[in-house]
């Protein structure tokens, strides 16, 4: 009986040594015997000619093959789960290394979901449905109780989660709609806020509206300025 090597299917763990994001492919060193695998395509939850999801396939910080080099916990290491199907290597997913920034405990962070990008941008949702999107430059969006976003720095089990990249402090937060006219709400790093609309702006409250300025309040209109109320005080 002649054995066909290409008919053998298996699952193996491998250390990622190099990435090719333009082809959604990896190069890996298998952990069981040190063999090298090239042209390893990464599986996506959905993918096609004109749709799909890609995480960009971040590179390990120490690229290249070195079978005798130990893993440095202070540098990015990536462990892949590789399926060999009829001679083709496919990356099914990834496993966290033993030492990681992403290990959070059930006691302090029950059911917390975290997605962290290599840029240090992250989003998280806790068991109370508080959702945060946090930019390392200082901007954040929160939906839930309170206004302060959830900082994850040193909250992980190994106390290694730290924001180090892209902390410029010059982050702009903008909401823009150009579906018909143009509406813009821009929070600038200078502390200024701009609200622009090619249509109307309506501010309405069932109770009072307070406007307070440290210096001047300027009102300019191409037409009439109309103020109505049961009582108008001019100081």
* pLDDT at position 1: 36
- Per domain, the residue ranges of the chain are 5-95, 100-169, 170-200
CA 100/CA 160 separation, integer angstroms? 7
- pLDDT tens-digit map of 204-228: 999 999 999 999 999 999 899 888 8
What backbone torsions phi and psi does residue 80 show, to the nearest 5 degrees?
A: -110, 150
| SS3 category, 6 | helix
Give the mean model confidence (pLDDT) for residues 148-175.
93
| SS3 category, 47 | strand
| Confidence bin at 66 (pLDDT 50/70/90) | low
Evaluate whether 75 touches 125 at the Cβ level (below 8 Å): no
- pLDDT tens-digit map of 107-116: 989 999 999 9
CATH architecture, range 5-95: Beta Barrel (2.40)
* pLDDT at position 133: 97
Tell whether the model's pLDDT for residue 4 goes beyond 60: no
| Confidence bin at 68 (pLDDT 50/70/90) | low
The pTM (predicted TM-score) of the whole model is 0.84
Residue 73 per-residue DSSP state: T
What backbone torsions phi and psi does residue 210 show, to the nearest 5 degrees?
A: -105, 130
Q: How many CA atoms lie within 13 A of 150 on its CB side?
A: 25
Lowest mean pLDDT among 17-26, 60-69, 215-224: 60-69
Mean pLDDT, the chain, integer? 89
CA 90/CA 110 separation, integer angstroms? 33
Question: Exposed, middle or buried, 152 (CB in 10 Å: 0-12/13-18/19+)?
Answer: buried
* pLDDT at position 166: 95
């Amino acid at each position: 009986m002649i054995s066909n090597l290409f008919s053998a299917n298996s699952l193996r763990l491998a250390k990622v040594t190099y990435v090719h994001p333009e082809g959604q492919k990896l190069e890996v060193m298998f952990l069981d015997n040190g063999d090298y695998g090239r042209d390893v395509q990464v599986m996506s939850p959905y993918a096609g000619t004109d749709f799909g999801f890609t995480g960009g396939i971040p590179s390990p910080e120490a690229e290249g093959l070195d079978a005798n080099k130990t893993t440095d916990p202070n540098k990015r290491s990536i462990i892949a789960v590789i399926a060999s199907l009829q001679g083709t290597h496919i990356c099914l997913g990834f496993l966290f290394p033993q030492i990681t920034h992403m290990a959070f405990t059930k006691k302090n962070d029950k059911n917390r979901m975290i997605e962290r990008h290599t840029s240090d941008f992250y989003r998280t949702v806790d068991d109370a449905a508080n959702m945060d999107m946090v930019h390392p430059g200082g901007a954040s969006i929160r939906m839930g109780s309170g206004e302060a976003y959830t900082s994850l720095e040193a909250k992980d089990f190994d106390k290694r989660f730290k924001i180090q990249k892209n902390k410029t402090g010059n982050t702009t937060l903008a909401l823009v709609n150009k579906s018909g006219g143009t509406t813009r709400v821009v929070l600038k790093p200078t502390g200024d806020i701009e609200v622009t609309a090619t249509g109307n702006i309506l501010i309405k409250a069932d109770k009072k509206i307070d406007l307070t300025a440290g210096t001047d309040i300027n009102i300019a209109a191409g037409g009439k300025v109309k103020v109505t109320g049961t009582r108008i005080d001019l100081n």
